[in-house]
Structures are given as structure tokens and as C-alpha cells.
Structure 1
Amino acid sequence: MPSLYHKIFFFFVYISCIEGVESNLEMDGGASTSLAASFEGNEEQCDTGVLTTLQSKLDELRSDLTREEKDIQGQLQLLESHGKRCKRKVDLWLNEIQNMKQRAIDMKNSLNQFRCSDFYVPQGEMYSAEESQKKIQHLTEEIQKHKKLKPLVLSNEYFGRKFEKNVETLWKLMRDDRVFIIGIYGMGGVGKTFLAKYMQSEIKRTKTFENVLWFTVPYSFSIFSLQEDIAKIIKVRFHTYDETERAMILTKELEKRGNIILILDDVWRYVDLEMVGISLRINGIKLIITSRLRDIFQQMDCLSINIIEVSPFYYYHHYNSCDIYYRNDYDDDSDEDDDKYDEALKLFLLKLGSYGTPLTLSPEVRDIVRYVVKECDGLPLGISVMAQTMKGKTDIHWWRRVQNKFDKLKMGVEMQDKVFTVLRRSYFNLKEKDWQKCFLYIALLPNFMRRNCLIKKLVDTGQLEGNGSLEEIFDEANVLVDKLVNDSLLEANKEKEIKHLSSYKNDLVLSMHGLVRKMALNILKQSVNNMMIKCNGNMTKIPYTEKWATDLEVVSLAHNNIQVIPEGTSPNCPRLSTLLLFENSIYHIPECFFAHMEALKTLDLSKNKSLTCLPHSLSNLTSLTSLMLHECSELNYIPPLGELHSLLRLQISSCSIKAPPQGLENLINLKWLDLSMNKNLKLVPGSFLPSLTKIHYLDLLGCAGGIEVEDVKGMTMLECFAGTFVVQDNYKDNFSRYVREILDSTNGPQTYFINLDNKRNMSTLIEYPFSRFKDRTMSFSDCKELIHFLPRDLLKLELKYNDHWICLCYGLSSYDNSLLEEIRIYDWKKLKSLFCSSCYLCTDIKNLQSLNLNCLESLTVICKKLPENDMFSSLKTLCVHKCHQMKILLTSKLVRQLQNLESITVSHCNSIEQIFGVAYDKDKDEEDENEDYEDEEDENEDYEDEDDEGDSNIIILRKLTWLSITYLPQLKTVYKGILICTSGFKSSIENCPQLCKPRIEYEAS
């Protein structure tokens, strides 16, 4: 039987090997060898030496645990001084530290009990020694694991709420063998590099990977220079200038280093990893990239699920991806607004103070500090620089000066050098001059604009004017907006998309970060000789005449509360080219106001809802190319425009005019004319339109009356048209001929919204009828039969106010509907079902993607019998409103065809009891008032046994992401079984008093 010292020797060697890799308590390389030598010829003395060494080892473990404990406790003391309490998981972590320290003490005490004065070891002591060996080994491994789980005590205090979550996500991705490239994305100055550096230090501290290498990638790097940088850090010398050979050398050298993390910071261009010599593999190199350009990650095959977006303070998502909301009233998130700058303010005060202690300020100064922090818009770099600039400044005059500088866009040297220089790099990265020009123009617009409205504004004002078609210009505008969002120059506010998903799907609300906007306005000041920018403020009066310099070129006073332009105000600005006064409360403009603005090209007075008339001096602005008068709801008089021969774009929409402005027929160069949603505007066929032959875009929807086909036949350049045709019996042949000769050819508009037989107010129509180019929509109302010729390539069909049809097939079965994507039906009294399932229409529809049903008094079922051609297999969106006779929205047979369904919205339907019908409901009475469902019972008898075990039926809709249920007083269940959706599913349920909570399960997307 081996003696105790042999066992202890081999255990000691094993422990030494483990700790040489896993802990910072390493032994010298020759420790085990010298220990073995000490056993030869010294067996009587070895036991005491080995035991002493093991006891020392336990002492070092205790010291290591104590250091970790003191580090956390020091941070806790700082938290307590700020009135904060630590998280529960911090307490649990410290308790485990105490437990491990006690175990180390107990093990040391047990080793003291050994007596090795001779070679005889009693059996009981031998057993105790073996147990001690296992305990020490286990404790050593536990300590290493526990240190890796060390919590971020101060993360909320210093880095914001998302920092800790981002760190946890990074650890998860780094430990996943399926992930090779991880992206850290965000705007300049938001903390991407800080997060990466924190991870670098944590990897080194925890020794999770064998090494972590950091490289800052220059903006204009080359493969050769990047290879040189990597070689210097890993201490490799090249003996060749051939990039391919150098890549092979780097690949071999990096592979020798085993399991490592490589960080490429501040990447602006695609890096060909293979040409550099970086080979990603399991148990080898993992790559972390930081960049403010989303395209970089896509080009380098970094999956979107592996990209961590770092946002400014308070830009975190309020919604859990799988939450369902039960509300009796609409939420307005007002509570969020009270403290959304709280984290930013804490950071500012900490930076303003010293040694981690926030500075205490007087109430007067604190109010200005809140203003300054708000102007920094949550950007950590801006907050830190401003705080450093104001360190030691406690007198109020210093802070008032800073506030005035912000108001006048006169930033200090520190903000210019340390913040705007960083942000400006994104602007200069826009290679095309048109893109830079458009970005600067967007900085003059209000914050928070829907994507479609922003794009339309860019085209309205001619920012992307060119010789191409409107489609090409709109495509360019869409590409530009994508570029600005992907390059962190615009922000897509997803929360606003969620709240209004049913109305504005795929139309995100866009905004520009406050400091990015200030950076853009500073560039504008440098590029334009003189400008006056006072937008997005609280001005109530227009600046006095003497404030308008004679060399002004651009003036933006948009998005204020200006009400008065005093009589006699007549700025002498002969070089002024752009004047933006939209989104104010102006109710009167003096006659002389425009008298000295002869160079004015762009004038936007939109959304001045109290403005009633425009001055006659407007008629003399002969250089004007864009005039925007949108949503001036009280505007009833516009002076003659016949002398504005340079005018290319004219928008007079949602106003109160009763007749078109005089001289409209003289604007022969006009390309864009929008007179939509003027409900008092009586259009007279043949009045002004025939002479406007250069029109590309014409929107006349929502006006009283309509025009004739002959009015637009001469517009050979027309690409987009929306309006109402007056089609009486003697004109119906003209319209049919227009469809065959113009709409069905390549010569006519490829994007249109045509309304026929309009006898009612069109105010319910959407403001912007074209969600995309080549949308083709026809709208009919109040017809006994469809006598009109339909275009072959029709995509959307709208049918309103019909008191005659009981089924859609009655009037549509003789037309080619194979391309039809959307059907909208409003206010039908006799319609009982949409489709008969057996006619040509039902067999021809193959691409239906959206179905919108509103105010259908008699509708009981979507289909009497499900057609065999899977006509609903492409359906993505279903909206049902005020259909009071329906009891079950979707039958089980219909659900089987809805595997592409993404969104369901149901509201104000008094009789609906179920959203999804069960396969077989044994409690259902045979005299069910829904007679159209009787055929389901025969087909689904096989499900009876399944139903005996309760609600075990399962519906799987993997693409369903949105369910909105509102004001359904009889709704008892969404589904009696289990609904399985993607993990991105969201739901809003309001005012459904009898509804049981639905059983919804989620599977990974």
C-alpha cells in the first residue's frame, strides 16, 4: 500500500498543473521537479514539507477570494453613498465567496490533523487524505468558475441599463461554438470601443480565452499595413513583401496561439480576413468587430442575430419580444418621459465630480444642467466632454453662457474637437455629394418623421432632382434613407412602429440624434455663406427685420410656435433661396413679407393650421421652384400663380380652398402637382389640366367631384396618378378605352390610385396613396354591377358602399385577378360571404396578401367553402372592423392555408367569440347560427378523440408577429387549444371582458 506522502506528492503535482492554466496562483516551472527530488532520500521529512505547502496553497486561495470580495465591497460602498442598493445576485455571489473561504479554512484545519512521523498511516487517516485531495481539487475549479460570474455592480451607475445586458450577450456569443464573428454597432461616441475594451479586460482577468488581441483599423488601411500591425503585436517578422505569403505566416502563427479573441476596432471598410491571414474556426480565433456602419457586418458575414447595437442612454426597447398587453385604456408612456434622461444626468454629475462622487449643484444650476444634458441627447461622448469642460464651474454665469451657446449653435472648442470631429466622420463617409446635401437638408426638418413622409419631402423639394424618372428618383431616396440609417446618421424608432403597427407597417418613424443634427447645422453654417437656423424650438414671434441679414441664403424657423408676423415685416434678403416656416401657428402673413425675396426657390408653409390666406407678394416670386402648402387646414385663399413659370413642384393639400389657384394652367413646366384631400375643392373637367403636359406626379384624391379621362390623356410623361374619374353612362366607353390603350400599355402611369363613381366624401382615404412604386389600385363605390373594364395588372381593389352584392364573386368572376394582392371592402349591407369557392375569381386568385374588411353588416364567414387552390396561402395581413354577424373569425380549415400570415387586427365586432375555430368542438350546438360551418363537423370528426382530452389542439403560425384585439364584448377565447408562434410575436388586447388569457407558446425564430 502506498504511503501518504506518495499520494500527496501526486496530488500536489496535479494541482500545480491545473492552477498553472486556470488561476493566477502559478508555481515556478521547476516546482514539481524539485519536489520529486526532495522525496528521494528524504522520505522521513517530506510529509511535513508537503503538508505545509498544501496549507500555503489554501492560504493563497483564501487571499484570492478576499481580494475579489473587497473589490465588490468597495463598489457597494460607493453605491450606498449614492443611496443605492445592490442587486440580489450580488448578495448571492458574495455569500458564495464566504462559503468558499470557510471551506478553505476547514480543509486547512483537517490537514493539521495528519501525523506522518513514520511510514505507517492508519487506514482512517488514509481515507481522510484522499477525501481532502478531492475537496481541494473541486474547490480550486469552483473558484475559477465563480470568478468568471463576477457581477457588474456599477453597470447601471456608470454605463446605463443596457450595458450589463450587452456584456452578458457578448459572453454568450463568445462561448457559442457556432458563432465566429460578433458585431458591436452604433453611432459615433456611443461607447462601442468602451464596451470592447471592457470585454478585453474581462477576458484577460477571467482567462476564458488564451489571449485577446486588439487592433484599431485605420480608415484608409491596406492589407499590407494591417498585416504589419498584427505581426508587431504577436511579435512575428516577415521576410517577404508578398501579401499571400505573409497571410500564410500569420495564419500559422495565430493558430499556435490556440483559442483567442481578435478585436478589430473602428472598421470603416470591408476587411478580407483570408487575405490578411485570419482564419476563423472552432476552438480557434473568434472575431469582434466594432463599426458604426451596418453594411460592414453584412459584408463580413456577421449574422444580424450576432450584432449588438449600442444605443445612447434611454434608447432601450420597452417591449419584451414575447409580451402580451392587456389594457383597458390606451397607454401614452408619459411615465417614461419623466426619467428618460435620468441615466444621462447621473453620468454627467459623476463626470463633473471627483473620484466617483457626483457633484452637488444648486437648484438653479441643476436646471441648466438638465437642459445641457438634454441637448447632448444621451450620447456618452457628448455628456463626458461637456462635463469635463465645466469641471470646477459652479457660478451660474458660466452655466448660462453654455446654455446660450447651445441655443445659438456656437459649440465650444472642446465639443468641436472631441465630439463633432468624431460625428463628422460619418458625414464625410457619404461619398456622393447628393447624399451629403440631402443629409444636411434633413437636419432642417422636424424630428420624428415617418419614412414615407421624409422620402416624399426629399422629392417634393427637389433634393434628388435629376433627369431620370420619378421611380428612379424615389429609388434613390429610399437608398439614401437606408444608407443614413445603416451609417448611424438617422435612427429608426422601432417602438413607434410597434404602437401603430396595424396602420403603418413597414413605415418606421425616423429621427436624427440631437448632436448629429447640431453637427450637420455646423457644416451648413460653414458651407452656406449665411443662414438663420432656429428650428425645433419654442419661438412665438418671427425675428425682427433687422435680424435678417441681406446676404441670408437659408432660413429655417420650422417646428416652433410662431403665431405673429407683424405688419410691415419685409426682410430685405435678395439672396435668400430657402425659407422653411412649416409646423408653426402662423395665422397671418403681411402683404409685403415676400417683397424682397426675389431669389427664393423653396418655400414651405405646411402645417400652419391657423393660416387663412397668403399675400399677393407671393405671386411675384418668379424664381420659385417648390411651393409646399400641406395641412394648412384653414387656408382658403391663394393668390394667382400664373407668373411662377419656374415652378416644378406644387403641393396644396388638406386645405380649405374651393377652387384651384388662378393661373394654374400657365405652369407648363410643372412636374409635381398635389391637390389631394381638399374636400371643398370642386374639380371641373377640362379646366386646367390639359395644358400641364409635363406632369410626372398628379394627386387629386379626396376632392369634390372629379375629372374626365380626356384631362390626363395628353400627359404622356405621367408616372403616378391618383384621382377620381367622373364616369357616367356616356363616358364609360372612354374609360374602358383608357384602360386598354393607356393603363394596359407601357405608355401610361405604372403607379395609380383610380377612384370611379365617387358620390361620397373621400376624407377616409389615406394621405399618401402610394406605399411603393408600381402600386396599382382601383376603387369603386355604390354599383349594382361592375360595368367597367379592369386593368390586367391590377394589384389592389377597393369596393365601397355597396347595397346590392351578397358575394364578391357576383361582380368580379369575369375578370383576370391573378395578380391581385389586396382587397379592401367598406360599408356593404348585404354581403354574407366574400367568396363562393367555385367560380373563376376564386380559382384565379393566387397572390392575395392583404384583406381589409370594414363595416360589413351581414358578413358571417369569409368563405362558404374553402377553395382547393390555396387562395389564402399568400395572405399576410388580415384586418376586420365592425363585422357584427361573425362568430368565428378563422375556421380550422382556413387556418391551414394561413402559414404566411403575419398580422391580425380585429376590432368592434359585437358577436365574435373565437379568433381561431377549433378542429372539432363537441359543445357546439348543431343549430349553430353560423350555418356555413356545418360542413366542418363531418370533415373533422377525426379530431373528436383529441378534444376529449381538453384543449390539446395546436395551431402553428410561425410567421405571425402581431395580433391586435380591441372591443370584442363576446370574445371568449383566441383559441381553445395552443397557439404556437415565433419568438418575435407581440399582441395587444383591449376591452375584451370575457376573454380568457390565450395559451400562446413560442419557438425560436
Structure 2
Amino acid sequence: MDLWEIILFFWAPICRHIGYFKDLNNNVETLNRKTKKLKRKHDEIQAEVEDAIPVGKRQKTLVENWLTEVRNTENQVDSIRLELALRRICTDHSSRYTLGKRVVEKLEDIKKLNKKLKAKGVFDKVAESSRHPRVLEKQTSLPRGQQSTFEQTLEEIWQCLNEEENGIIGICGMGGIGKTTLMKEINNRCTNTRDFDVVIWITVSKDLNLGLIQEEIGNRLGMKFDRNEDKVDKLFARLKNLRYLLILDDLWESFSLIQVGIPKPDKQNRCKIAITSRSVAVCNAMGADKSIKVRALTTEEAWNLFCETCGDAVLLSETRPVAEEVAKECSGLPLAIKTVGGAMRGKDKKEVWRNALRALEGASPEVSGMERQVFLPLKLSYDSLENDEIKSCFLYCSLFPEDYLIPIDVLVRYWAMEEGFIENVNNLEEASNKGHDILERMKDACLLEKVSCGNEFVRMHDLLRDLAIWITSPSSSSIEGTKFLVKAGEGLVQPPEEKMWGGVVRISLICSKIKHLQITPDCPNLVSLFLNQNSQLRTIHSNFFQLMPKLQILDLSATGIESLPMSLLLLVNLRVLSLRYCKDLVEVPPLGKLKELQILDLSESGLKNFPQGIASLVKLKRLDISLTSFTTIPYAMIYGLPSLEEVSMTNLEEHVDGATFSEAVNMKRLRSLSISVSNLNGFIALDMFHRWFSGLTSFHVTVKSAFCLPLSNKQISIGECDKFPCGIEGLIKYAFSLDLYKSKGLTSLSKFQGDLKSLRDLRVDECSEVECIIDWREVGDDAFQCLQRLDLYSLPNLEKVFDGGAPPPLNTSLQNLRRIWVDECEKLRSLFSSSMVEQLHQLEELTIMKCFQMKEIIAVDKLPHNSFPKLRVLRLVYLRELESICSQRFMFISLEEMKVISCPMLKKLPLFSSSIHEIKGNIEGEREWWEGLEWEDEKAKSLYTRIYKGP
């Protein structure tokens, strides 16, 4: 090789290395320009990808790799820019050379990326058919039927998802009731609509893992996360551009959507989140706009599903009767129906079916699969309860019979006593508050059911009761420590064998048919014994209580016992003794030895003589002797009991007189008082009494009144008085409820003036002299400002409910009134003046019955705009002269139910909504009346006919 060739061989590398140093500034400008151009192309392709993914496509691998390379190159270029900025184009030759080399290398990388971009066919389509379609269908089998419980719930959920105001929907119910099945149907229904860009199903289950939720959402969207990448921001950036439906199945605890990267659904993004949970509280904590309770199947639906699962064996004449009973034991729970049905499939021997029925009735897991597939999944709800107190309450509920309406006050009182709540709080009221709080948590966890007959009762689902019995059974594989013997509601004629009593802590034989307890069971650990509602129980062995040293709760209410054995006095730890409604009871032993007794209920018992020894019960906190016929009552002794907090002695054979009642002021710990008095003289004017009375948290005082149902925890009932009691105003001002029955000397309530401002409920019944309830000219601006319920019955001289025109402009009267019920007020010709209507913007329910002279409901001058904005229920019954609700045309914008019976003169209906196309609710009335109605046009008639139900 000659010299020239040698020079040429080394010249190119030398020039390249010199260029790193010499051309740095020009190369940086070129790099910036080409990087910006590459970034624009990256963003265009990324936008194409994001547009394609919501419609069921997925990013091509080559495209995904190219985009990743571009982002990496951009990061490296940014690093070079930062170093250049820090060095300010330094004059250090070594550093300048190194940076120059890196710049040239990045220019080469960009050149390669541009070359890949131009490769034939690679970027013609950035996405291809996805492995992640818009909706992933789920396998499901929903119990069918046009009007089935599940179909109705399914439609309710679907409607909620389509309502703009509902962003987050909770679907709640006990385990195994079908929440997941319903949501699988909702998921599958989305395949036939374009309502959502993507439907994402996440099964959360017991252990909440936010990272796993992020990964599953990312996988569903075809996303990949780098190790150090911020998942929250990346998920949020993707989801904010999608209209998604996120289904979170089996959620046990709440979490923050922001922490995961999930945009909150709202009216703008039209996204939805549906949550299934056993806990209403979890749904509320997640911000649910609406929660839907999933109901159990009806008997017919349960039978159909059972037959479908079990096969033809259930239809055999020999097995069907027993099979129907077996199906009923599943209590409408689809999980149990399918488990039991599967276990009994192909069984055609009636003996086998009878054995299965016996096992189910006794909450025994003998039926194949019951323990593993039903009890253990249901037990997760029990295990998840936050503390042992709530778990104890759940187990306690199983002591009551199947389908039993459990009185909340009884449950809380007994259980609070046994659990020692009363020892950790200041009084019975605080113990009760704590118990009620725990019951609410159990309702939220779908472990207790609310009942429609008010807030005084709860009910336990049969399968949950079976679960509790299984947990506490001595033979259960679930070792919880506390063991029960529960035979409640099984109709036992004989008590369980003595050997079964030993070792258990709680025994319940409620609603049995036991006539005699001629045994002496050895029960060293027994704490609670429920023998109530054994109406045939007559005798108890003299030594029956001898070997029950730890017994704290003894309920013998509604039994036929005539006396109690002396062994009762050995129960030195007894805290609760209930002899309520023991009509045949004539004597009890002296009770002075029961030093730990805190609750004694003798109400409606047959005792004639007041029990001896009660003066020694220094720990007694609650005493109930209502509706008894004691010949004498030692009031001074009762008022002297130092720990007494609650006393009930209403409707006694002899009413208490005022002078005796005045001694009650010495009861310093008293919080609740129910008492009947013959008159109010002797104490009503005492300042000391008023100060004491105002401090009570609960009272029910009846003055010469027949027994009245309580309306609130502070009630005055006045009945059958020849002359209206003088000085009653002093008590009424403390009351929430006032009940007037057959009281004379009263023409209106205007005389009470400011004493009515705290009243919430008013019931006036058979008060023949009442002419109006309130004359606005005689009362203050705040009379009836808290009134929520007004009931008027059999008032023959009532001509006006409200007289004197309308309340003054700034008057707050009646602005909280929610219910009005008027019955048999024969002289009433109308109910409201038009100006009176302005006060009734909270009214929800209006019932008018047997007001035979009533012509119209509202005597109109000029009806205010948007009258009765919250009225939901209107009942008009036996109003034979009623011609119109109001002669002026107006609308009930919230009306859901209207019942019209025997109102032959009523020919026109008000509108149900501001837009007739939004009509909702139902109308009930006789066919003849309906056909005689007059309509503005045929279109209105057609629309209203849709919601007419007939008689």
C-alpha cells in the first residue's frame, strides 16, 4: 500500500472524529429538527392506535415496538439537551467530543426509525383484529320468566345504567343470591349495543389489590406497563378518552378511583361503574349514586330452578311433595337451589328425600356440597365482620325461629346485657344506641333484612340463620367456641334430652309446644335460655334452675306457667327476667336474692300481688309493670330504686294520681318513663318537676286514655276526659307526639300557642267538639313548624282543618308536613285554601276518606306555581260529593300512586307530570268511574289508560 492509499484509509475516520468536535452546533440543530418531525409522526400514529382500540382492535406488534423505540430515542435526546444546557456548550474539548459523538449516533438512530416507517405495508394499518374485543361475553344461566324476580332486577339495573344521573351503581345482596349472574347478563347485553366503547370486568374478591386491578384493566385495554412507569397516569390518559363500563364484581372494601387511575363517571364522559357487593356500606363508600338490593327468588321461581337443576326425579308423585319442601328450605337462594338440586339429581327414593329434608331443616351439611358450596362461601360474610361484637349479634339472631320478626328492642336489650355492653357505657340508652349501630352495620352487610311493617323489627334470611346454627352447632367443623342448642319454631312437644343441654352457652326453644319441664339439666356454661311463646308450658320442675350457675338471660314470656320454682333464686348471675304476657302466673318467689338483676318485665302478667324483694334489687335498671292488675303498687319503693333508668307502668288497673307521680323527681338516673295518670293536678305546676321532665330522653304519658300505639319516643296521650285537662300545656311543649282521644272541652289546638312548635305527630280521634285544628289568627309564626304527620279521625264537627286564611308570609308552620290522613270528618267541604297550599311543599302522602260533604280538596282562588311538588300518594275513598281536586288546572309532578274509590262525582283528573309524555305511577279505581271520566283529548286518555290498574 503506497502513502496515498494509507492517507485515504485513515482520513475518513479522522474527519468523522474531527466532525464530532467541529460540527456539534450544526448537528444539534439538525437533531432537534428531525426529533420534532419524528415526534409529530409518533403522535399521529399513536392517535390512530387509540382511535382503533375502542372498536375492538389491537395495536400491531411492529407498530408498538416502533412507538416504544421513538419514545426511548426522545428520552435520550432530552438527556443530551439537558447536558448541553448545563455545560453551556463547554469549551472542554473532551466533553465536547463525547457529546458530539452521541449527537451523531442519535441522528443515525432517527434515520433508521424513519427507514422502518417507510417499510412497505408495515404502517398501512396500525391496528388489527384484537384479542381484546369491546365486550368479553360471560357464560351464564339466568332464571327465566317474563315477570321473574331476576328479570325485574335485571331491567332495573339496565335502566339505572341508562339514566344520566347515575354514574356509579351498587348491586347489593347476600352471598349466593345472584349478583354476579345478573351482572354477567348486563355484560352480555352490551354486545348488542354501542353504548360503551369497552366493557371491563374485574373480579375483586376478598383481598383488595389495587395493583392487580390496574394490571387487569390494562390487559383488557391491550396496554403494557414498563417496570418504572406510572400506571395511574397512563390508565387515566387511556380511560379518559373512552366511554367505559367498569364492572367491579365481589367488592369487599372501598378504594379511591383516583389512586388507581380511573376517571370518575359523570354526565360529560357518560362512563359507568357497576359494583356488586355484599355490603351496602361499601357501595356507599364508593360513591354509589344508586344501590339496588337483589331479592331472593319467589317460591314458584325457586321451584322451577330446582326442577331444572334436579331433573325429572322431582316430578314423580312419590317424591314431589317432599321435593317441594326441600326446595323451600333453600329459601330462594340460587346458590343453595343449584347445590341441593345437583346433589339430589337422579334420586327417586322418597326416603332419600326425607333424609335430605331432615338435614336441611336442622342446618346439617349432610346434603352433598352444602358445607363446601353454600355454608363456606356464605361464611365469608360472617368472617369479614369487623369485630367480635357484630359476629356475636349475627349468631344471636339465629336463636329466633325461622321467618320470625325479631323485635329490635328485645334483641338489643338481651344481647347488650349478655355481651356486657351496659358495663362499658353509662346507661341503657347508650347500650341501646350501640346495639342499634351494630344492627345497621349488619343490614348494610346484607346479613339482616329490613321488614315492611316498620323500624321495630328485623328478619334473618333462612339460609343465613342456617349458617349461624351451623357455625354454633357442637358438631360443626367451624370451631367458633360458642355453642348453641336451637330448636326454635320446630314445634317440640318434649324438651331436648338432658345430655344435649350440657356444654352449650345459649338455648332457644321459642315457639314450641312443651307442656312440662320435668328435668334438671346440668348446664355449667349456659348464659341465655329462651322458653318464650311456649303457650302450653304449665309447670317447671322445682330443681330445674339448680345447675345453671352462669345464666344471665331467662325469657319465659307468653308461657302458661302458674308459678316459678324456688330454684330460680339460685340464679345469682341473672340479669334479665321476662315474664311478660304470662296471663296464668299467680305467684313468684321473693326476688331479693337476684342481686345482679337489671331488667325485670312483668307487663301483662296475671300477678295480683307485687313481687316481694324488689327493693333489694339495687342494680335494677328497667322495670315494666304495664297492663297489670296489682292490688297495690309501692310507688315510693319503685321511685327509690337507685339504678332505675327506665320505668313503664301504663294502663294499670288504677291510674297513678298526680301527687304520687310527683315523687318521680327523686329518680336521678331515670331516662325513660311510660305512665298513666288519672289527672295532672298535684305536680304539673312544680318548677322542679318541669326541669326533671325536660331532661328525659323518652316518655309516654297517658291521661285517662285507653292504650295508644306509640308514635314517637316523647308522647302525650289524652283520652276520655270529661273536661280537657288544665295545665297540659306544660307537658305538650316537651312532646314530639300528641294523641287526643275522646277528649272534651276542646274546639281547636290554637290555645296551645308556642307549645306546638316541637310537635312532629298529631293524632286527633273522636273529639266531638273540635271545629278546627288551627286558627292562624290565634297562633304564633312557629306553631307546627316541625309537624310531619297529621291524622284526623271521626271529628263530626270539624268544619275546617286550618282557619283564618293562610299563615303570615314569614310563617314556618307546616313546612315539614309529610303526611295528612283525614277520615270520617263529615262537615268538611274542602281541605285547603289555595294560599294554604304554599306551606305544603314537603307533603308526600294525602289520604281523605268518608268525608261525605267534601266538594273539593283545594278551595281555589289562585293556585301557586308548582303546588305539591313532592306529593307521591293520593287516596280518595268514599267521597260521594267530591266534584274536583281543584277547579284550576294544575299538575302533580311527583305523583306515583292515586287511588279513587266511591267518588262518583269526580270527573276529571289532574296531570301527573309537567310533560304528559313523562307520565309515571299508577291509578286505581272502579271500572265504572274510570269509564265516566272526562278527558281533554284522546291522547291524554290513551296515556293515562296505560297506568290504570282497575279496582
Give me the TM-score of the superposition, normalised by structure 1.
Answer: 0.69
Q: Distance in 1 between the 2:530 and 2:909 partners?
A: 51
Change (3 A) 1:425 1:912: farther
Q: What corresponds to 1:661 in structure 2?
A: 611
Change (3 A) 1:977 1:381: farther
- Contact persistence 1:979–1:1001 (CA under 8 A): no
Deviates more, 1:652-661 or 1:416-425: 652-661
Q: Helix, strand or coil: the match of 1:880?
A: strand
Q: Distance in 1 between the 2:211 and 2:182 partners?
A: 28
Q: Distance in 1 between the 2:556 and 2:903 partners?
A: 44
Name stretches of at least 5 consecutive residues in structure 1 with no aligned partner: 1-19, 29-147, 315-340, 498-503, 920-939, 944-952
- Contact persistence 1:455–1:477 (CA under 8 A): no
Match of 2:172 among 185, 208, 211: 185
1:23-34 equivalences under 5 Å are none
Q: What corresponds to 1:695 in structure 2?
A: 644
Asked if 1:238 corresponds to 2:225, the answer is yes
Change (3 A) 1:970 1:570: farther
1:362-511 equivalences under 5 Å are 362-412=316-366, 414-446=369-401, 453-461=407-415, 462=417, 463=419, 464-465=421-422, 466-493=424-451, 496-497=452-453, 504=454, 507=455, 510-511=458-459
- Contact persistence 2:472–2:483 (CA under 8 A): no
Q: Helix, strand or coil: the match of 1:264?
A: strand
Q: Distance in 2 between the 1:596 and 1:212 partners?
A: 64
Q: Distance in 2 between the 1:804 and 1:690 partners?
A: 33
Asked if 1:873 corresponds to 2:811, the answer is no
Q: Distance in 2 between the 1:549 and 1:449 partners?
A: 24
Per-residue CA shift, 1:634-658, capped at 9, x if unaligned?
A: 5454443222111111122233333
1:86-485 equivalences under 5 Å are 157=144, 161-176=148-163, 178-204=165-191, 209-240=196-227, 245-255=230-240, 258-280=242-264, 282=268, 285-304=271-290, 307-314=291-298, 341-353=299-311, 359=313, 361-412=315-366, 414-446=369-401, 453-461=407-415, 462=417, 463=419, 464-465=421-422, 466-485=424-443
- Contact persistence 2:781–2:812 (CA under 8 A): no
Q: Helix, strand or coil: the match of 2:839?
A: coil
Asked if 1:686 corresponds to 2:635, the answer is yes
- Contact persistence 1:700–1:724 (CA under 8 A): yes
- Contact persistence 2:802–2:832 (CA under 8 A): no
1:671 CA drift (Å): 0.8
1:350 CA drift (Å): 0.9
1:508 CA drift (Å): 6.8
- Contact persistence 1:548–1:573 (CA under 8 A): no
Change (3 A) 1:625 1:778: same
Q: Distance in 2 between the 1:24 and 1:246 partners?
A: 22
Q: Helix, strand or coil: the match of 1:287?
A: strand
Match of 1:851 among 775, 790, 811: 790
Change (3 A) 1:238 1:632: same
Q: What corresponds to 2:470 in structure 1?
A: 522
1:161 CA drift (Å): 0.9
1:268 CA drift (Å): 0.9
Per-residue CA shift, 1:185-231, capped at 9, x if unaligned?
A: 22211111122223333334656544322211142223333323333
Change (3 A) 1:442 1:703: same
Change (3 A) 1:414 1:776: same
Aligned residue pairs: how many? Answer: 767
1:988 CA drift (Å): 5.3
Q: Helix, strand or coil: the match of 2:494?
A: coil
- Contact persistence 1:297–1:303 (CA under 8 A): no
1:156 CA drift (Å): 5.4
1:596 CA drift (Å): 3.8
Change (3 A) 1:805 1:213: closer
Q: Distance in 2 between the 1:450 and 1:993 partners?
A: 41
Name stretches of at least 5 consecutive residues in structure 2 with no aligned partner: 1-51, 61-134, 474-478, 921-951
Asked if 1:790 corresponds to 2:739, the answer is no
Question: Partner amino acid for 1:848?
Answer: L
RCO higher in 1 or 2 (8 Å CA, sep ≥ 6)?
Answer: 1
- Contact persistence 1:961–1:986 (CA under 8 A): yes
Question: Partner amino acid for 1:961?
Answer: R
Q: Distance in 2 between the 1:664 and 1:968 partners?
A: 56
Question: Partner amino acid for 2:186?
Answer: M
Deviates more, 1:396-405 or 1:986-995: 986-995
- Contact persistence 1:591–1:615 (CA under 8 A): yes
Q: Distance in 2 between the 1:573 and 1:903 partners?
A: 54
- Contact persistence 2:54–2:197 (CA under 8 A): no
> Percent same amino acid at aligned positions?
25
Q: What corresponds to 2:746 in structure 1?
A: 805
Q: What corresponds to 1:135 in structure 2?
A: none
- Contact persistence 1:669–1:694 (CA under 8 A): yes
Change (3 A) 1:973 1:455: farther
Per-residue CA shift, 1:962-1003, capped at 9, x if unaligned?
A: 445555565565556667446563355666677668546146
Per-residue CA shift, 1:817-870, capped at 9, x if unaligned?
A: 433333333443322122232224576443333323334332221232133225
Q: What corresponds to 1:749 in structure 2?
A: 696
Q: Helix, strand or coil: the match of 1:754?
A: strand
Q: What corresponds to 2:665 in structure 1?
A: 713
Change (3 A) 1:880 1:642: farther
1:814-825 equivalences under 5 Å are 816-825=755-764
1:615 CA drift (Å): 4.2
Per-residue CA shift, 1:753-811, capped at 9, x if unaligned?
A: 2334x3x5x32x22xx4745xx364757444562356155443334444322323234x
Q: Distance in 2 between the 1:378 and 1:905 partners?
A: 36
Change (3 A) 1:1000 1:472: farther
Q: Distance in 2 between the 1:477 and 1:390 partners?
A: 41
Q: What corresponds to 2:947 in structure 1?
A: none
Change (3 A) 1:978 1:271: farther
Change (3 A) 1:910 1:286: closer
Q: Distance in 1 between the 2:789 and 2:671 partners?
A: 25
1:374 CA drift (Å): 0.7
Q: Distance in 2 between the 1:205 and 1:829 partners?
A: 66
Give me the TM-score of the superposition, normalised by structure 2.
Answer: 0.73
Change (3 A) 1:978 1:420: farther
- Contact persistence 2:680–2:728 (CA under 8 A): no
1:906-945 equivalences under 5 Å are 906-907=848-849, 909=850, 911-914=852-855, 916-919=857-860, 940=861
Q: Helix, strand or coil: the match of 1:917?
A: strand
Per-residue CA shift, 1:537-587, capped at 9, x if unaligned?
A: 333x13254454333332111134x15226x34434343221112233224
1:910 CA drift (Å): 5.3
1:178 CA drift (Å): 4.9
Question: Partner amino acid for 2:552?
Answer: K
Q: What corresponds to 2:489 in structure 1?
A: 536
Q: Helix, strand or coil: the match of 2:217?
A: helix
Q: Distance in 1 between the 2:800 and 2:636 partners?
A: 47
Say which one has the larger Rg: 2
Q: Distance in 1 between the 2:724 and 2:154 partners?
A: 65
Q: What corresponds to 1:896 in structure 2?
A: 838
Q: Distance in 2 between the 1:513 and 1:194 partners?
A: 20
Change (3 A) 1:787 1:196: closer
Q: Distance in 1 between the 2:903 and 2:571 partners?
A: 58
Change (3 A) 1:817 1:808: closer
Q: Helix, strand or coil: the match of 2:296?
A: coil
Q: Distance in 1 between the 2:384 and 2:344 partners?
A: 32
1:589 CA drift (Å): 2.3
Change (3 A) 1:280 1:896: closer
Q: What corresponds to 1:958 in structure 2?
A: 869
Q: Distance in 1 between the 2:566 and 2:619 partners?
A: 22
Q: Helix, strand or coil: the match of 1:911?
A: coil
